[in-house]
Structure 1
Amino acid sequence: MDEKPTTRKGSGFCSLRYALALIMHFSNFTMITQRVSLSIAIIAMVNSTQHQDPANASTEGPVMDLLSNQSRGIKDFSTRAAVYQWSTETQGIIFSSISYGIILTLIPSGYLAGIFGAKQILGAGLLISSLLTLFTPLAADFGVILVIVIRTVQGMAQGMAWTGQFTIWAKWAPPLERSKLTSIAGSGEDVGSVWVLHHPLCGRINLTGTGLAFYLLHLCIGCVCCVLWFTVIYDDPMHHPCISVREKEHITSSVAQQSSSPRRSVPIKAMVRCLPLWAIFMGFFSHFWLCTIIITYLPTYISTVLHVNIRDSGVLSSLPFIAASSCTILGGQMADFLLSRNLLSLITVRKLFSSLGLLLPSLCAVALPFVTSSYIATIVLLILIPGTSNLCDSGFIINTLDVAPRYASFLMGISRGFGLTAGIISSTTTGFLISQDSESGWRNVFFLSAAVNMFGLIFYLIFGQAEIQSWAKERTLTRL
């Protein structure tokens, strides 16, 4: 009985690996709130209709404003919003700057996490990102360049934190539970987006200018998350002091085919020639293109196209992420259900959820420009886009754990790099297109996103696989 524990005894929701999934959920929640908060704050920061005298509507911000008029009461000052002269192109660069930072550290942090362990790298990234959150509103008063620099460094920290998760899941997640565990962890991003867009502090304090209290709250949440991470998370189940014997044996026997050696060369040439990997990379590129637009520009779209005020736009902007969080978890549960009952093969499940996650949001995006006259139809489509898009989490998003579990963190770093490259391009392109003409600009944005999604889907359906690649099985690898 002890030598061969049953799956039932080793896979309960009260097990330690599900506790780790919840902590990663909290970590992703923390990072996305730090990232998305500026998306809704910027509406007030650049809105020229805020109650501010034209003479004071400059890039100097509220601090210099207060110094130049000492007779104004603090209470009166706190009810006014800073207005910065940032064009839509500049806003696109600010939004994409955090992606520049993430992409700089994805590959090196993924490689180092595979060698030295993910706990320290991920924890350090979380802490640095949390500390930099507090400096973002302060930096705006010193110029847009400093905002971009801080957001870039914050992105570098988040890149360290994100890739380390997949090193841990390669050792902690049994194959038949990977979709569930990773979906629980990944849904933290959607829950965080809901919280930051719907929380009453976000609309109220961002409307009053700097929003320091809101960002201070982010800092506190990040520090709590770091404490949990450093005390509860371990790189593998073999060294965790609190894990039960049954669960340890269940996990280690399930992932027994994976090498536990931390020191190994990376078969770069074999990876470059591997079409199943390129299928994953193209899937990430397509998926992140549209998702980044929704995350960064949704409050702006609701404010400018639907003409909804800032507070209400925060509430409406949160609805799509509620749907996304639900679809992420339900998709993971459904995918593992199909696998555990042997209803579909692994590659069929991966391609099915990838198809749903790329095709359905594309159809919604194409339809969106034609229903702007209908408030309800527009909101429904905006909810469906991120909701259906997150079905990809049970598709190509975790496919690297299938094809090369030994190099999961390194390859997830590269995959995320492709996704963030798409996010950088799409954010900048969106800012440029809507600056030319709002109506036709948004239409071109959504049509282009649908085309990119279709390209990624076709490529993945043709070349995607779910078997462990031969170069990922080998213990002795030829160096370049």
Structure 2
Amino acid sequence: MDKKPSPKKAPGFCSLRYGLALIMHFSNFTMITQRVSLSIAIIAMVNSSQPHGLSNASAEGPLADTLSNPSTSIKEFNTGGMAWTGQFTIWAKWAPPLERSKLTSIAGSGAAFGSFIILCVGGLISQALGWPFIFYVFGSIGCVCCLLWFTVIYDDPTHHPCISAREKEHIVASLAHQSSSPRRSIPIKAMARCLPLWAIFTGFFSHFWLCTIIITYLPTYISSVLHVNIRDSGVLSSLPFIAASSCTILGGQLADFLLSRNLLRLITVRKLFSSLGLLLPSLCAVALPFVASSYVTTIILLILIPGTSNLCDSGFIINTLDVAPRYASFLMGISRGFGLIAGIISSTATGFLISQDSVSGWRNVFFLSAAVNMFGMFFYITFGQAEIQDWAKEKTITRL
């Protein structure tokens, strides 16, 4: 009897699609470092234009203050714009369903890692070599990423000249159920009536509510509550970003491991990581006012909040690729719009609450954030789905 041919093993990490994920990682790294480097360099520019007698007295203060209060530029960490949402269009055609969490988490973690690096070395480069070298260093990295992007990144695997036949076959076969034809119009009315989409939007709103508070007010909290000096505050403010980057990648690996081994269904994985990404940081935030007297415990909780929050990257954040891959980029833009609205409201509310009373104000800020997160978690658990919606499927016309 003839033996049946054994199925080809799917290409692993040494494959083109993981190379694309790394390029996107460094592209996101470049975008955030160039944004934050401007806020660091501009202080040095201002100092260099001051009279000589004043510059020595104030050079260290403003520069260190920028490192300890990067909120003016770190707010831009929340603005994905065209760059971030456009990446989801690429993953809709490049990422097999069982690898979407891994690939998108590898790419997305570049922003958090870039924030950590620029906050650690940006001030040092400016002081040691001069502020222009901040742009020379990170601008050069951006040029390299740009060349790699235009050389390696293609819209879909079928047109890539360097992809292996086995990898192309694997990707195309895994996405065979998805529509590959160009869409003619966006079904706005159907989207507006889709509860699974509103579950995603609500998740983004809740996620960005607490994340924006941590990103914007973390240096203020460290300085006012822990009474840490300016330079130590700057270093501590960068630590949550490396935790966020690490948890993003680890969460993506774990999510796809559970899917590839058929341990959990896709919707279960999405809801599990969404719940962890909303519940765990809420618990840490609620605990903060009660451990304010403990320096070490407070720092640990402040690091865990953005770290555990980024577990959502394997949950509702990439859920648009599951429910509507044809419109993933468009829906990601809307989702982040809900997140930015939440950031505006939460930042305003936080500023008002802590201006009334520092101690009770911070407590109310964290309690309110936990309540918003819990609402988003329960809403997503109730209405979230992982199947392609009817309005997102390709309409086929049968002719007699």
SS in 2 for 1:376: helix
In the alignment, the residues of structure 2 paired with residue 334 and residue 7 of structure 1 have an alpha-carbon distance, to the nearest angstrom, of: 23
Hey, what does 2:203 align to over in structure 1?
Answer: 283
Whether 2:368 is the aligned partner of 1:457: answer no
Hey, what does 2:101 align to over in structure 1?
Answer: 179
SS in 2 for 1:11: coil
Contact 2:90 2:155 in 1 (8 A): yes
User: One-letter code of the match for 1:366?
Assistant: V
Hey, what does 1:426 align to over in structure 2?
Answer: 346
Whether 2:152 is the aligned partner of 1:232: answer yes
Q: How far apart are 1:309 and its partner, in Å?
A: 2.6
SS in 2 for 1:235: coil
Hey, what does 1:161 align to over in structure 2?
Answer: 83
Structure 2 unaligned regions, length at least 5: none
Contact 2:11 2:166 in 1 (8 A): no
Q: 1:202 aligns with which of 108, 123, 147?
A: 123
Q: How far apart are 1:443 and its partner, in Å?
A: 2.0
Q: How far apart are 1:270 and its partner, in Å?
A: 0.5
Whether 2:113 is the aligned partner of 1:191: answer yes
Q: Deviations over 1:226-264 (max 9, x none)?
A: 222111111111111111111111101111122222242
Question: Quick one: structure 1 residues 453 and 188, their matched pair in 2 at CA, closer, same or farther if it must change by over 3 Å?
Answer: same
Name the TM-score, length of structure 1 as normaliser: 0.74
Q: How far apart are 1:419 and its partner, in Å?
A: 1.1
Contact 1:81 1:207 in 2 (8 A): no
Q: How far apart are 1:466 and its partner, in Å?
A: 0.6
SS in 2 for 1:443: helix
Name the TM-score, length of structure 2 as normaliser: 0.87
Q: How far apart are 1:434 and its partner, in Å?
A: 2.9
Question: Quick one: structure 1 residues 217 and 302, their matched pair in 2 at CA, closer, same or farther if it must change by over 3 Å?
Answer: farther
SS in 1 for 2:386: coil
Question: Quick one: structure 1 residues 304 and 225, their matched pair in 2 at CA, closer, same or farther if it must change by over 3 Å?
Answer: farther
Structure 1 unaligned regions, length at least 5: 46-59, 103-157
Q: 2:251 aligns with which of 323, 327, 331?
A: 331
Hey, what does 2:279 align to over in structure 1?
Answer: 359
Q: How far apart are 1:430 and its partner, in Å?
A: 2.5
Trace 1:221-300 onto structure 2 (pairs within 5 A).
Answer: 221-300=141-220
In the alignment, the residues of structure 1 paired with residue 310 and residue 47 of structure 2 have an alpha-carbon distance, to the nearest angstrom, of: 39
Q: Number of residue pairs matched?
A: 389
Hey, what does 1:20 align to over in structure 2?
Answer: 20
SS in 2 for 1:261: coil
SS in 1 for 2:50: helix
SS in 1 for 2:162: coil
Q: Deviations over 1:314-364 (max 9, x none)?
A: 322222222222221111111111111111111111111111110010010
Hey, what does 1:373 align to over in structure 2?
Answer: 293
Contact 1:99 1:423 in 2 (8 A): no
Contact 1:323 1:387 in 2 (8 A): yes
Contact 2:204 2:336 in 1 (8 A): yes
What do you get for the CA RMSD once the two structures are aligned? 3.1
Q: How far apart are 1:182 and its partner, in Å?
A: 0.8
User: One-letter code of the match for 2:20?
Assistant: L
Trace 1:18-57 onto structure 2 (pairs within 5 A).
Answer: 18-36=18-36, 41=40
* Identity percentage of aligned residues: 75
Contact 1:21 1:181 in 2 (8 A): yes
In the alignment, the residues of structure 1 paired with residue 318 and residue 260 of structure 2 have an alpha-carbon distance, to the nearest angstrom, of: 17
Q: How far apart are 1:311 and its partner, in Å?
A: 2.7
In the alignment, the residues of structure 2 paired with residue 389 and residue 460 of structure 1 have an alpha-carbon distance, to the nearest angstrom, of: 15
Q: How far apart are 1:187 and its partner, in Å?
A: 1.3
User: One-letter code of the match for 1:195?
Assistant: I
Trace 1:51-130 onto structure 2 (pairs within 5 A).
Answer: 61-62=46-47, 65-66=50-51, 72=53, 76=56, 79-82=59-62, 94=72, 98=76, 102=79
Hey, what does 2:317 align to over in structure 1?
Answer: 397
Contact 1:338 1:349 in 2 (8 A): yes
In the alignment, the residues of structure 2 paired with residue 267 and residue 7 of structure 1 have an alpha-carbon distance, to the nearest angstrom, of: 38
Contact 1:355 1:457 in 2 (8 A): yes
In the alignment, the residues of structure 2 paired with residue 369 and residue 21 of structure 1 have an alpha-carbon distance, to the nearest angstrom, of: 39
In the alignment, the residues of structure 2 paired with residue 380 and residue 366 of structure 1 have an alpha-carbon distance, to the nearest angstrom, of: 14
Q: 2:365 aligns with which of 438, 445, 455?
A: 445
Whether 2:303 is the aligned partner of 1:383: answer yes
Q: Deviations over 1:28-50 (max 9, x none)?
A: 212233445578x59x96xxxxx
Contact 2:258 2:269 in 1 (8 A): yes
User: One-letter code of the match for 1:248?
Assistant: K
Hey, what does 1:319 align to over in structure 2?
Answer: 239
